[in-house]
Amino acid sequence: QVSGILNVNGGTTNLQVASILNVGRNVKGCQIGLINIADSIGGASIGLINIVRNGYNRVEFSGSEVLYFNAELKLGSRGFYNIFHAGYRPLNQKEGYYAFGYGFGTFIRTKNKRLSHNLEILATQIIDIDRPADLGGQSSKKLNLLNQFRWTIDCRIGRQTSLFIGPTFNLMVSKLVDQTTNEYALDILPYTFIDEVTKGADPIYLAGWVGFNAGIRF
């Protein structure tokens, strides 16, 4: 099924391609569109929002060296799923950093039925909205994007429950300047092996490091 806007199939189809919406019952191949909905899929649903009733649908809670508290919703198929992310890191009783992100991932089985891998790409905007600007607070309108490539090992401990841990490869891209120190970067970065500011009229701060991510998945 190929159309400019919408595909709907209540039976079995091999492929659905539409610019806006695909709705299928039993899709043997792939769905490609802005929004994809299916009961089951043999390949992958590739789009901005993917909802597969019998697919890879997970909720997880995790921690990392940058954001101590994270919650994520993962929707789609094992071959390709969307990630909706929210995170928080407290600085003290009144101040903290909030984060909201979006990404994609793929689930890889292993010969061991309890172990699997997840490869993911995630972009997260980190916002400091508690402190006023004259005290070092940051505007939520400026670019302050944490880009991550994550590889985690998933260990199933129950029918629908698993623990996971793995490294993250991080690149912070930021236009924020601390008003108290007149310097780039946040005070939550652990360390950096990339630490530079681009040249030009509108400079951008780049910081790179290797971190970790660990948590529980349902």
Report the chain's terminal Cα–Cα distance, integer Å. 34
pLDDT, residue 135, reads 43
Q: What is the pTM of this model?
A: 0.89
Q: pLDDT exceeding 70 applies to what percent of the chain?
A: 91
pLDDT 10s digits, 36-91: 999 999 989 999 999 999 999 999 999 999 999 999 999 999 999 999 999 999 88
pLDDT, residue 186, reads 72
C-alpha span between 105 and 90 (Å, rounded): 28
C-alpha span between 206 and 202 (Å, rounded): 13
Coil/strand/helix, residue 134: helix
Coil/strand/helix, residue 133: helix
pLDDT, residue 182, reads 67
pLDDT 10s digits, 111-155: 998 999 999 999 999 987 655 554 445 555 788 999 999 999 999
Exposure letters 76-89 (e unless 16+ CB within 10 A, then b): bbbbbbbbebebeb
Find, among 40, 121, 23, 22, the residue nearest to 78 by Cα. 40
